[in-house]
Amino acid sequence: MPDDTDLLSAACHCGAVRFQVRLSDGFKTARRCNCSYCRMRGAIAVSAHLDDMQIVEGEENLTLYQFNTGTAKHYFCKICGIYTHHQRRSDPTQFGVNVACLEGVSPFDFTEVPVLEGVRHPSDGRTGSGLAGVLRYTSS
Q: Amino acid identity, residue 67?
A: F
Choose the stretch contacting Zn ion; rule: CB under 5 A; options: 15-23, 43-51, 90-98, 125-133. 15-23
Q: Please identify, using beta-carbon distances, which residue of 3 and 60 lies nearer to Zn ion.
A: 60
Q: Does 12 bind Zn ion (CB under 5 A)?
A: yes
Residues 6 or more apart whose Cβ sits within 8 Å of residue 10? 18, 19, 20, 21, 84, 97, 98, 101, 102, 103
Choose the stretch contacting Zn ion; rule: CB under 5 A; options: 9-17, 31-39, 67-75, 132-140. 9-17
Q: Please identify, using beta-carbon distances, which residue of 8 and 17 lies nearer to Zn ion.
A: 17
CB 111 within 8 A of CB 138: yes
Residue 10 main-chain phi, psi, to 5 deg:
-150, 160
Which chain residues interact with Zn ion by CB under 5 A? 12, 14, 16, 77, 79-80
